[in-house]
Structure 1
Amino acid sequence: MHSYLEFEKPVADLEGKVQELLSMQEKGEAVDVADEISRLQTKADSAMKDLYANLTPWHKTQVARHPDRPHFFDYINALIEEFTPLAGDRKFAEDEAIQAGFGRFRGKPVAVIGQEKGNDTESRLKHNFGMARPEGYRKAVRIMELAERFNMPLITFVDTAGAYPGIGAEERGQAEAIARSTDACLAMGTPNVATIIGEGGSGGAIAIAATNRVLMLEHSIYSVISPEGAASILWRDSTRAQDAATSMKITAQDLMAFKIIDKIISEPVGGAHRSAKTVLERTGNMIADCLAEFDGMSAQEIRQQRRAKFLAIGSKI
């Protein structure tokens, strides 16, 4: 059973009735309910399709945060062979929010970096809900430098509400660590591709997404601040997050128009969590296509393409 979002309640009610009838049928308490089950399931599918054809930015925010949505390790398990994680920033500590290492993507060696939120209470606490501390970004820089040294492409998966804002993180130079990670991303002489798989929040996201190609799942979000944070600053009222989400242009479709992202990966009706295998396959295919664009290009050409991409953001078509 899927967990339902608030706006999916009409579908939840219909699918709940289907499950009740199926249960009764299995126990022999109902006779010839197949037609009713089929009718209700068709109605539920139609309702879900209608809902997802008209999602608001706030609805997309909720879908992007769905706890069952595929996370970093799901992409690693599906797309990266022989993944070998590396730990520590060689300066202070290991940060579990940012996972990084090396492996093979469709037979070719690659470096991989991404945020992992966790999927239950224990793992969420372990990974700090995907909110990295400075040592996480310094580890990312270490991986980027190794990737360039050994001429490997870099693949990143972005899924964070933002960098961790705690006192300790600020004392250890959070802003400087994010800036250096962003700079390292921009300076790489090997191709890099980022995919926004859930939330892409603030500098915590851009630090590993300043890449040659930025992909984004259809119902993910990408913004300089969370809707709640924006509402707190603008109106001193975090309950106006829905208004902020609408005004901030945080959806894949809006960001494509501004040239902030390059391609949108379509999701199944109901979101990525309803058919993770499909989404993982589509993501892998699009990453492969993007990396293929840079075959035969020199380090200087790769840097120049990345520079031109970011300079073009927001320019008129």
Structure 2
Amino acid sequence: MKIILANPRGFCAGVNMAIESLERALEFFGAPLYVYHEIVHNKYVVERFLRRGTIFVESLEEVPAGAPLLYSAHGVSPQIREQARKRNLRAIDATCPLVTKVHLEAVKYAKEGYTIILIGHEGHDEVIGTMGEAPERMVLVETAEDVERLELPENTKLAYLTQTTLSVDDANQVITALRKRFPQITNPPKDDICYATQNRQEAVRELAKRADVVLVLGSQNSSNSKRLAEIANALGPHAHLIDGVAETKPEWFEDAETVLITAGASAPEDVVQECVEYLQSRYGATIQEEIVREENVHFPLPKSLRELLPAGTASSRVGS
């Protein structure tokens, strides 16, 4: 058996920044430390922080007044920020800067009188936060079929934005449908889909055709991880989205000569290596790493956290 290790895979700069922010905040404040929503959508990352005294909440009512609170990488709505201010919470904003960019675009378009069509998945933390920026001016669509069902007044000023973790192909299908139905629709000068999402999808498209089986490390609630598995399955190989090696099944590897392993942007590298070691020990697998795209993106820790930390300790350790 041969293992192809996709590169890039795993943590992106936004996830690195968010996890590093939580690490540093725990060191500074100690436990318990509150986080609004899961810090990132990954079972192993969340469980590790739970063991260290992190409390993930879905309502700010669960956070004692005046306590430290970290916003997750997926961002929050202005309404949540206002609630936090009223409760005198010590908020640290670990929102990925690429998500913040979409929020700012939503505010800009809303102020200019546009109706904004957001392409994304209903109920996703990022979508909830983005729509909170201008709820009265935003409409959510997930598919080209949703576009056909839109009922908007004639001559409505329209703009579209996208969730950062979508499949590029899926987003393009919806964008094509929007442009066909609303030729006047406008969009930001730069694509909203995150560089890491695109790079990981590109690697899977290029490498999956050479594999009999694809293992995508990531959690079921991770949008970008699910997209990787969908892309691989569309190319023919049997793709499986798993949190870790414990979820693998021996029958997946019967007659498999080549296994591609990749990981979503919120999946830690150690779960990848556990899968590699399992296939090495059980099947004598050899490893071939394939670099499809170099990544050198780095995001600084949130300003509010940098101000708390001693000088020289406030840069994010990317790649951990």
TM-score computed with the length of structure 2 as normaliser? 0.29
TM-score computed with the length of structure 1 as normaliser? 0.30
Q: Which has the higher helix share?
A: 1
Question: Which one has more relative contact order, counting CA pairs under 8 Å at least 6 apart?
Answer: 2
